[in-house]
A and B are shown apart, each in its own frame.
Chain A
Amino acid sequence: MKLAYKIILTFLTPLVLALGLWGWLSYRTMSEKIHADTDLILRDYSDDIIMRFLSGKELPERFNGAYNTYYIESLTAEEAASVNAVEYGEAEAFLRSQEEFASSRIRKQVFQDSEGNFRRLTVSLPTFEQEVLVEHVLWWTIILFAVLLLALLAICIVSLNYNMRPLYRLLKWIDGYQPGLHADKVPSDTDIVEFRKLASTLEEAVTRIESQYEERKIFIGNASHELQTPLAVCNNRIEMLLERPDLNEEIATELIKIHRSLGGLVRLNKTLLLLSKIENGQFPQTSEIDLSALLQENIKLNQEIYGHKNICIDVESTSGCVVSIDEQMASILVGNLVKNAFIYTSQGGQIEVKIWESGFSISNPGTAPLDKDMVFRRFYQPSGRREGATGLGLALVYSVCINNGLDVNYDFENGRHIFSVILKNSK
């Protein structure tokens, strides 16, 4: 979740609840006030009628054109005792002017006339006006609530985006940062203390990373120097021994064996250095490379080398597969996968290569699936160590892929090991 959304959400949730409560309360208060007003009108009205009745004055017309009506009934003393003196209620009252019944508020009051007889006056006032009023109050409360909420939301978003700009600039800078590439300065043109602190911390971290990166690069250079020279000396001494005239075949065979093992060591050293170089992202010079051409080239080369295996190659290509990648990286990627397939295919087996626009796959026959989590690890060799193998081929492939925005997958289907490489952003 983006920080802006999170802030807006945590800010607005209690606000919505508070505003809702406020709206509901004000609606309740308003509607209660309206009902209380109605009851007041009814009381005044009934007081007026009772006063007129008791003083013998002429009573108003029962249906005088206004909506309020009344009637007076006689009660026995027992009835009068069994009901409340004053009672409010809701009832359907007939409106003559409208020729229909309407829901009304009624007020009943028991009183005694001058002869001491009990009478009950019922006055009624239709409530539709009040209902309309209450409905209006409700609508306006809702509208007010919505407008207020939207306005708050808009202000919130605008002010957040405005104030977060330095943070977004920093994040964009981080996204674009690659160690070893001379990047722009960390953006710190803000007067907000926290963001300034963040920028300066980042600046320090970057300086540290850069110097460590530099040290690591120097270390790799030195390690390569330190290891390769003694290896070269050993190699050359063996070669000089091989030139000696007093050499016999037995010793020469042993020397050649040592020489070959040493060759393996040199290769291992070279591959490890290459691997750390890739992981350091030291191959940033990319160009558009058609992997399908590279695949064909590698297949041809391996067919020559592994010609004695009589391997059958089936290439299915629907289009070229163009990737933006360093040239050397591309040939490491393709070369290792193709070589792997050739090495692990037995006599007369079949290698299938599929190429499409956003990737390629290479498969070779196998007996049992490999461990998916282990297959790209360094020195993983499930079928025991092969003479001369570094056990780093697939680790190299994996490193190249993750450093170049490619996905590499291993699957085992229908008795075949399938390695596929897919462009991440165009699946």
Chain B
Amino acid sequence: MKLLIIEDEISLQEIMASALKKEGYIVETASDCKTAEDKLSVYNYDCVILDITLPDGNGLDILADIKKSGSSVNIIITSARDSIDDKIKGLELGADDYLAKPFHIAELAARIRSVTRRSRNAGELSYKAGNVTLYESSQRLTIGGNEVSLLKKEFDILKYFLMRPGHMVDKAVLAEAVWGDHADQSDDFQYVYAQMKNLRRKLSEAGADIEIKSVYGFGYKLITP
């Protein structure tokens, strides 16, 4: 699968490219609007990762041009301004997903997998690992084709891991991602352990072939078959 990363921050572009290459994608890069437009007019891509703020223009214009040309390429927009305006504008123009900076590369990879698979899921974003599939907007989970019900927090935790399969997750980061800012100063993770215990139990009872393993005492890792 072929990707185009349009990102003016060279260090970020480099790290995105190397991480996505590791995931098995063919990656091309562009640092400004002009290069991006040139590449888009010559080659075909499966997915474009588009930064909104570029040195010689607005990424949203590129997005509008792509959509005008009738191309069905998947587009994920990234922006440091986590403003709702940009997000709404981008999605209205036809972007498939929006990622606010700073993001985890692993999360970007999960989103790419998700949007490129979307056409097979009646348009719904989903995350898949082993026999586990999680549908984001309908808040459903299937394991081996069977529906499994999870509580809100368990669902959020699992989603976080499915976005980062095989990556180490710090429990403090996980806590903040799932419980929000409230958790940023807690030094006791009993509540994380409790939810984790229930989630692991539900996964193994439903016969999931994925496993959330503890690593080094400070984090977890999702192991896929």
Residues of A at the B interface (CB closer than 8 Å) are: 221, 224-225, 228-233, 235-237, 239-240, 242-243, 249, 252-253, 256, 259-260, 263, 266-267, 298, 301-302, 304-309, 335, 338-339, 343, 386-389
Contacts and interface: CB of A to CB of B under 8 A. Distances in A.
Given A233-B11, A259-B173, A389-B185, A307 B191 contact: yes
B130 to A, nearest CB: 19
A253 B83 CA distance: 34
Interface string B53-96: 10000000000000000000000000011010000000000000
**Interface of chain A, main secondary structure:** helix
Given A225-B81, A229-B9, A243 B53 contact: no
A215 B27 CA distance: 37
A339 B185 CA distance: 9
Interface stretch (B97-105, B115-123, B141-149): B97-105
B101 A306 contact: no
Interface in B6-30: 9, 11-12, 15-16, 18-19
B106 to A, nearest CB: 7
A253 B185 contact: no
B101 A229 contact: yes
Interface residues of B, number: 41
Given A224-B80, A236-B15, 16 more contacts: A221-B83, A224-B81, A229-B80, A229-B102, A230-B9, A232-B101, A236-B105, A239-B168, A253-B216, A267-B184, A304-B191, A305-B186, A308-B190, A335-B182, A386-B185, A388-B184
Interface string B193-225: 000000000000000000000011011000000
A232 B186 contact: no
A374 to B, nearest CB: 20
A27 to B, nearest CB: 78
A307 B215 CA distance: 24
Contacts of B157: none
Given A232-B101, A266-B102, A305-B182, A259 B170 contact: yes
Contacts of B170: 256, 259-260
Nearest to A226: B80
A232 B166 CA distance: 20
Nearest to A237: B15
A235 B104 contact: yes
B160 interface: no
A385 to B, nearest CB: 12
